[in-house]
Structure 1
Amino acid sequence: MRSALTYISLGLGVFAVALGLVLRLYTYPQLAKMPLDLDSLSVATGTADRALVFVANGPDEHVPEFRDNLPITSTTKVTADPTAPEMEEGGDVAAYIEATKIVATDNPDIGPLSASVRQLCVDRHTGEAVAPCETQFTETDHTGDKEEDRVEEERDRVQQPGFGFKLPFDTEKTTYPWYDLRIKDTVDLTFQREDTVKDLDVYQFAYHIEPQRIGSREVPGSLLDEPDTPSIEADLYYEADRTMWIDPVTGAVIALEQSVTQKLVRDDEDYEDGTIVFDGTLALDDETVTKNVADAEESGGKLWLLTTLPIILWVVGGVLIAVAVVLLLRSREPRPEAGNHRLE
């Protein structure tokens, strides 16, 4: 009886440990991947305390003017590009297109405040940009002046390095390189604290961008208090703060808040004296956050089986193997001879 119990415990223990290894080392990497059919829409709302806008003045003309306390809406759509050569069923790379537009809320007479489109390839396991990538590019339309800027790079160079959509699965409390499209470079996205969003446990991350030049603009002199000058070329500066609430299981962005300031600074001016052309805040709306929480809970529930369950199996398997070893050792202990119990 003891011998049978020994081998049953040993067999179950080995099976539990092996199953845990399969779930964690094989099944988990197969499921913890960004999808090849991604199609998501995020909406953020807020207010521009001050913004340079272009107001329709006839069918083909827009007149620049400043608006204060302007309600704004930002929409971001991310879709997979099934035509990209990097997209292979079961592969480790995905090609995504991200289109973002910021407009004056419920005010169609005002042209878009800004717009951008970009495409890049990402590692489906980590979410980090990778190369080679045939289809990568960025295209921006700055603050309504229709000065388009499209940049395409060679396929073997990562044009938009770092993370730009999400953080890795099993996000750690550390600092990650996050790509900011306006400065076309990475910034340090740093862990701040643990938090909750709609009862979902999340990590709060944040970054700050000091004022820096991102280009130049030619604008009417009247916008820079020089009405007698037809046009003036000035440097465009950008400053930003962004806070993200990340689901640590999936690495997905659950909620986001950001504040952005842009100024036009002439050669004879300091940054502090520049003319503000945008100063506003945006945050993902409640509908978007609610959907993000629901998606994270669904995905996190599946991944829990592949992260926490293996640990349980390893513990249970280890205990069963230990019990089997103890039983085996006891079965090999010599039994006392009957003669040792006779009375003299």
Structure 2
Amino acid sequence: MSSSKNRIPEKDPYEVLEIPFGATDGQISKAYKKLALKLHPDKQVNLGSAQAQEIAKRFHDVKEARAFLLDAEHAEDRRQFDAKRESERLRREADAIREQAMSHRRKQMRNALKAKEDAAKNRRQKVQRKGKNEDDLEQLRREGKRKRSEFAERDAAQQHQKDLQQELKRQQDQKDLQEALEERQVRLKWDRKKMKPSPSEDSLAKLLSEQFGAVEHVELLGKKGNQALVTFVDYTSCEPCVKFYANSGEMRAKFVGQRKDDEEQDQMQLIQAQSQRRTAESLERRRLRQAEERDRLLREMEEEEKCYVGVDKESTKEKRSSKAATGRRSNFPLSLPEGKMYKGLSPWNILENLEDEVLKNWITGEKLQSIKVPVDVRDY
């Protein structure tokens, strides 16, 4: 290995073991054993020191290559090395493809640039020998490199755009063909208990051809063998077939493709409409129930008011005399406190005093007076 930080061998391990890139573990082990037997120091006799050192170095490289490709501790390093090697291979292939696709005019331009570079190189060598300035030659070299890079990038971009357009067109053509095919297809499903014997492809083709139109192909589907994909010659045969089996207890037919999606969308819209109608009916029933509740409360309030109305003059006089004696209404609907501090006060005045006592800690006196409603105490 070159260092602890860079654990990738300096030499290509595949080339060291003389095996192709991407070889299996078995191929790697076999190649290692073959070279190890050939290069092992015990096998080397009657060799000079320089040759022995060269063979020892090769033997070390073979062991290092085998460890790098097979040992688990080098798995991540091997993955990175393989990825880099594959990237370089693809780049070389792309360069070769660009070379083949390059037009005659661009080749002439490239050759002309190369000729200029070679000429500049020769001039630079002469200048170096003569000790002259190299700035002009270096500028020409950079300019040639820049132009080559521009040409390569432009060609790659054009080729990529062309490939992308071709791929999109191919996908669209496949999609159009598939949609056109699905327009002529229906999916059948039948009850095996009710249809005995179970229909075959030939029997289905004959049955559907006689009723709805010529059938191009029938394919049985599903593990149970109770489904089939039917392709008609004409798409107009699909709708009568689906409608015919819509209410059948033995067999059902459904559209395939876009018309299937349209059918499911129509079904969803129907469900939403039904849900909206049920919601509207619920709101209407709630309004009616609230109106009935209002009427019931109004009737109860009217009944309660009648309880406080005198039915004869004598009871009225007694109530008035009681009111004059105590200062309160005997039929006041609330139970009011008794005591010296409330003696001689009307029920309304007692309620005002209680209200002041309760609310004094929450609002000011001015605010309390502003929200009070003036009431004639004679009503009580």
What TM-score comes out, normalization by structure 1 length? 0.23
Q: Which has the higher strand share?
A: 1
Which fold has the larger relative contact order, with Cα–Cα distance below 8 Å and residues 6 or more apart in sequence? 1
Indicate the structure (1 or 2) with the bigger Cα radius of gyration: 2
